[in-house]
Structure 1
């Protein structure tokens, strides 16, 4: 199996970044993996913190090789998406994390296994290492979940799926004219229509919302682990897009071995119901809208 390159997007959160890198280095496949670091350019006033981050990333070791790109100008979207495009053009697939994503030591194995096994399953658009802290039915037989909703907190994608992303949602009004679309979307989570509408209107410019919309229209899926292999530590108020909360926190110690990534996994309505309950908590919509 050819391992996917890792794209790591960084800005000015040195403490978060150190935790992210430490956890990633602890992965069993880290020493065999190519790490590409994309450092966004500074906004006015952030020059000192950016310089500290750039000094630190030059000291990182523990990977097969490390490649660093330092942007002169600030553009989160350009830094992230152009970095992804570069790796996808060269490798055909990638694993992407930001500087607030702490991973289980089994994360890279899961992501590479899933990218390998689902590459030719064309109704799977992406892989994600994060799973919401929900109850999993005791009789659930798989180590993976088939989820219609995309998430990019430690995610993987192939070039052909990335090429299909519509970076401007221009047909949302037509989409909403079909009542069945809105019913199906509401059944996945009450916040998603408003998020997609905000994306359509240009209020948001969020890759995960674009990916969600694409998946939903095409009836495609994201594959996630049964228990999360990712903890997002950026919900502490330190980021530029989120307010503080602990509701997304997960226990990475639940997974104690490599997962069995089965392409036979099916959509499970009990699991989807539990995901919907989590997503429909009263704070969810406010959170999502305020956070991008």
Structure 2
């Protein structure tokens, strides 16, 4: 059985329409059940945009096995909306693919995600399936690798993993915090900083808590060497992403690879080093400098 797809939208109807068009062009789209959750508005201006986002779904109803649209009456915010929405879907099924409305997908996105979910469903070392990657040197384009950090740009998981996530996790002792800090370094230089900012309520991120769950339970995310998604959401009306997308990728919309999955779950230090460079302070500094000089 194919995984149900859960899409989260808000106040950007043009992005929602582009995503649904991209999703409907995927192989297996006509056999896939889709749930589209639209968050509620924060003000009168957003009321019009949220309604427009709802309207943008109508022309796609016949392109999937089913398309269920859920409208939030009030504004949940992304973190609450996503956690509650994914939990709602997983109450009815064993696995889910999760998308936000600013993504564009390759034509084999659903094929890759469903195959990965089936291949690793009984492997308790795997916490999630990721669809995005920055470029990797030294690995075959049709292969996968493992990373301790799950992506928030197109991902999937199973009910038994999701249900174990502690969304309010906080280290109970100094020793536990030191261990968490040490483990988090392998997931990226920015992870611990974001975790602390989330704890202090400077940010409100479901993704950093999902990452913390992977770290504290020694889980890995399965990542494709060839990305299956691109984020087009770095624009003026974004809620969380601004400017231009700093992360390079080898995205090509028309993609149909026969992915070779790896049964032995091992970290490749060279690969992790390549990925983590894009989450490092030096990359962040270079990107800011590039924007200033542009």
2:159 maps to: 159
Task: Return closer, same or farther for 1:109/1:237 CA change in 2, 3 Å cut-off.
Answer: same
Task: Return closer, same or farther for 1:114/1:52 CA change in 2, 3 Å cut-off.
Answer: same
Write out the 4+ residue segments of structure 1 that deviate beyond 6 Å after TM superposition.
none
2:8 maps to 1:6: no
Q: CA deviation at 1:158?
A: 0.7
Q: CA deviation at 1:84?
A: 0.8
1:205 maps to: 204
1:68 maps to: 69
CA-based RMSD: 2.3
1:275 maps to: 275
Figure out how many residues of one structure are paired with residues of the other and give that number. Answer: 283
| More displaced stretch, 210-219 vs 31-40 | 210-219
Q: CA deviation at 1:92?
A: 1.4
- In the alignment, the residues of structure 1 paired with residue 48 and residue 193 of structure 2 have an alpha-carbon distance, to the nearest angstrom, of 37
Unaligned runs of 5+ in 2: 288-294
2:292 maps to: none
2:93 maps to: 91
Q: CA-to-partner distance for each residue in 1:97-141, whole Å, 9 max, x for gaps?
A: 010011101111111111111111111111110112x33215x59
- In the alignment, the residues of structure 2 paired with residue 103 and residue 216 of structure 1 have an alpha-carbon distance, to the nearest angstrom, of 27
| More displaced stretch, 276-285 vs 189-198 | 276-285
SS in 2 for 1:282: helix
TM-score (normalised: structure 2): 0.88
TM-score (normalised: structure 1): 0.89
Q: CA deviation at 1:251?
A: 3.2
Task: Return closer, same or farther for 1:173/1:192 CA change in 2, 3 Å cut-off.
Answer: farther
Q: Conserved in 2, the CA contact under 8 Å of 1:169 and 1:199?
A: no
SS in 1 for 2:264: coil
Unaligned runs of 5+ in 1: 288-292
Alignment of 1:128-143 (within 5 A): 128-132=130-134, 134-138=135-139, 143=143
1:194 maps to: 193
